[in-house]
Structure 1
Amino acid sequence: MLGRMKLRGLVSLVALALLAGGCSSSSDDEPKADPAKKGSSEKLVEISPVTGLPLKGRPDNPVFVVKIENTANGSPQYGLNRADMVVEELVEGGLTRLAAFYYSTLPKNVGHVRSMRATDIGIASPVAGQIVASGGAPKTYRIVKKAGVKVFSEDHGAPGFSSDPAKSRPYNRMINLQRLNRKAKVRDIPGPYLSWTPPGAKPSPSASASAAPPKKATKAAVKFSGGTRTTWRLAGKTWQRTNGHAARGQDFAADTLIVMFCKVGDAGYRDPAGNPVPETIIKGTGRAVILHGNEATETTWHKSSLDSQVRFTGKDGEPVTITPGHVWFEMVPKGAGKLALG
């Protein structure tokens, strides 16, 4: 298990070459090889905390978490294909909204940007994510600020926002993350978002001999409410939405799809239409299904605090790691939410 370290990126040591010859000598007087000259030095390889994949270099930016509209009113969604990770969360009226993570690349055109929710604290905090939103309710601002999460809001004058002339408010807000980054401050990243499978280890998730074997699946339907379902299909090696709202060629391709069943509470205020605003509780433990390739593995998720890493265990209680790549989380309401596989 990787420990939590205050690094802006997770670092792994990768050996570039081995020392020539044996490890010991028959004579103490024999000159010792200089490791640097023999090419035995080890190179530090930056590993992304949100994908587990090697980075070409440590990004000079924080992890931005952009709130994106996820209904037909805000379509098309721009820039999802450039995201490192995406979380779909419940909002009022049984609808959902996306929290898209950007770290390895910063697109100039992401949107359409919407308001934040208190749920975003538990989503963004594990990697010191900085939330990008069009605005938020006063109570939400207070809660998020108290949690120590940085917010870039158009309502509070954050740079980089613009209007999509083809849309009308509140569904027309776009963000240029490169421009926004000029005002952002890079913070230490506490550690990786997930327990990534180490290089060379057996691909995970996979069931041990004492656990139930994974189910086979090439389709998935995730129900958030009576009116909201997200449907998926396995296309080659990635999971892709079949009823998404992304612009053509700009949808997210998930190497791993994780469905987490979470308790939902009341955020304590209502939206302008009078609907109570839900708050998904991303803390504690619950059922999770991990879809990777054509395998769907039943697991239990664990998160001790809002800012801690999400961990998974199998039916046998053993840790389940995640194959490095691009992950989509479905934060489904426990009880009302459903997952159907095909």
Structure 2
Amino acid sequence: MKMRRNFLLILLSCALLLGACGIQSGLSAEEAQQTEVANLVAEMMTQQSLDKQKETEEPEKTEEPTPEATETPVPETPTQEVLPTEPAVYSVGPTNFPEDVNPLTGLKVADPSILKRLPIMVKVPNFPAYGRPHGGLSSADIVFETWIGGGSNRFAPLYYGENSDYVWPIRSIRIVDPEIASLYNAVIAFSGGDPVKVMPKIYRIMGDRLFPEGTCPGICDRGSGDVTRLYANTAAITEYFQNAGIDPATRPNLDGMKFSEAVPAGGKPASKVEFHFNYYNKGDWEYDEASGNYLRWIEDAYTYEMIPLVDRNTEEQLAFSNVIMLFVEHVEIETQLIDIKVWGNTAGRRAVIFRNGQAYEAIWKTNDNESPISFYDLEGNPFPLKPGKSWIALTGLNTVENITGDLWHYDFKMP
């Protein structure tokens, strides 16, 4: 606006100069000057008016400073709290056992090749008492305890996932033994048997899967000169059968038992189990919370007080994850000839399973003559044993059971 006014002043000055020249055109100097000035002033006024009107209509725009760009804060996404996951509970069986898992214990073995053999059953006596403490029982996967009559019981340890080089002592075979052994595709190591009343059944069922005394290093004589003189080496027995082509050195099918670390629901407290054949022949189990096992006790041969039953090889008390009472029909043929009906139990009979300080009602079955004993809950589902070793006591159907608090007591009665 100011620039235009300055421009008009310059034009006015020029007009005055021109006016001075207008004297030569016939107008008086004064008239010419007045006329020019009047015209310029009118033009100037008109322009001012227009400029003023424009200023009113369009006010002068002022540039607004451009705001600096700022980052829009992005709200943080709330992180979801990661809750610790519980480790999976170990469970395996009753079928499809991994190559490195022993199907008789549910435990992994360091060397899976040991499972490529037939299990070995060895006949171990509990009497005479000077044959105690026994050797090698703690190395067995399963120990069967049976009544042989005449006030005595006998053990049949089964070795598969572990060997023992000193199973001691060794005694005679009985008519129930081949029925148990065949369930586990086992061979039997023993010392003698009644040639008329026992051995015919043994040969018929077992064939060439028998290992009698007289074949050291499988069964050797320690030179004591009495009925406790013999001991067995299970690795040497396996070697014998494999060299003879009787043991094919492949893994047998031992499906049938289920194992789980999870403690089943529905158990009753059972910190102690007593299994007594008579006053002079007793076996007790006490649950050890620290190890999670049942520890074995036995009567002292002189005082009849209960003392820990240790393994001669380790000098440690026998400890088993599962203790199982199997109710089985017993038929007394003679005083020391007892037919225990293990085969043919497809319908199922009662069992009481002790694990983790609890007692469980269960059913046991032998679904066929060449498959391990199977255990079921009362709804017919496979019952999970605790992974580890099992002690199975075969007792009569009329056995007396007394439960006092967490003490479970059994007095053996046939049949």
User: Residue 296 of structure 2 aligns to which amino acid in structure 1?
Assistant: R
Higher normalized contact order (CA 8 Å, seq sep 6+, divided by chain length): 1
In terms of fraction of residues, the more strand-rich structure is 1
Q: 1:63-100: per-residue Cα shift (whole Å, max 9, x none)?
A: 11111111313212011122222111111213111111
Max Rg structure: 2
Please give the residue correspondences for 1:215-254 in structure 2 after superposition, counting only pairs within 5 Å.
Answer: 215-225=268-278, 227-235=280-288, 236=290, 237-243=292-298, 244=309, 246-247=311-312, 249-254=315-320
3-state secondary structure, aligned to 1:123: helix
User: Residue 205 of structure 2 aligns to which amino acid in structure 1?
Assistant: A
Unmatched tracts of structure 1, length 5 or more: 5-9, 13-44, 208-212
* Aligned residue number for residue 372 of structure 2: 309
User: Residue 252 of structure 1 aligns to which amino acid in structure 2?
Assistant: L
* Aligned residue number for residue 257 of structure 2: 195
Which of 233, 238, 258 is matched with 2:324 structurally?
A: 258
User: CA, structure 1 residues 246+91, in 2 after alignment: closer, same or farther (shift >3 Å)?
Assistant: farther
Unmatched tracts of structure 2, length 5 or more: 1-91, 299-308, 408-415
* Aligned residue number for residue 174 of structure 2: 117
3-state secondary structure, aligned to 2:240: coil
8 Å Cα contact 2:124/2:155 also seen in 1: yes
Q: 1:115-140: per-residue Cα shift (whole Å, max 9, x none)?
A: 11121123222221111111212232
8 Å Cα contact 2:175/2:338 also seen in 1: no
The Cα shift of 1:303 comes to: 1.5
3-state secondary structure, aligned to 1:299: strand
Q: Kindly, what percent of the aligned residue pairs are identical?
A: 23
8 Å Cα contact 1:127/1:189 also seen in 2: no
| Separation in structure 1 between the aligned mates of residue 201 and residue 216 of structure 2, nearest angstrom | 19
The Cα shift of 1:257 comes to: 1.0
| Separation in structure 2 between the aligned mates of residue 102 and residue 158 of structure 1, nearest angstrom | 18
User: Residue 154 of structure 1 aligns to which amino acid in structure 2?
Assistant: E
User: Residue 145 of structure 1 aligns to which amino acid in structure 2?
Assistant: Y
- Check if 1:67 corresponds to 2:126: no
| Separation in structure 1 between the aligned mates of residue 381 and residue 352 of structure 2, nearest angstrom | 15
| Separation in structure 1 between the aligned mates of residue 192 and residue 297 of structure 2, nearest angstrom | 29
User: CA, structure 1 residues 195+181, in 2 after alignment: closer, same or farther (shift >3 Å)?
Assistant: closer
8 Å Cα contact 2:120/2:186 also seen in 1: yes
* Aligned residue number for residue 104 of structure 1: 161
User: Residue 339 of structure 2 aligns to which amino acid in structure 1?
Assistant: E
Please give the residue correspondences for 1:48-87 in structure 2 after superposition, counting only pairs within 5 Å.
Answer: 48-56=102-110, 57-59=112-114, 61-71=117-127, 72-87=129-144
- TM-score norm. by structure 2 comes to 0.63
The Cα shift of 1:190 comes to: 4.5
- Matched pairs, number: 288
- TM-score norm. by structure 1 comes to 0.75
| Separation in structure 1 between the aligned mates of residue 162 and residue 276 of structure 2, nearest angstrom | 31
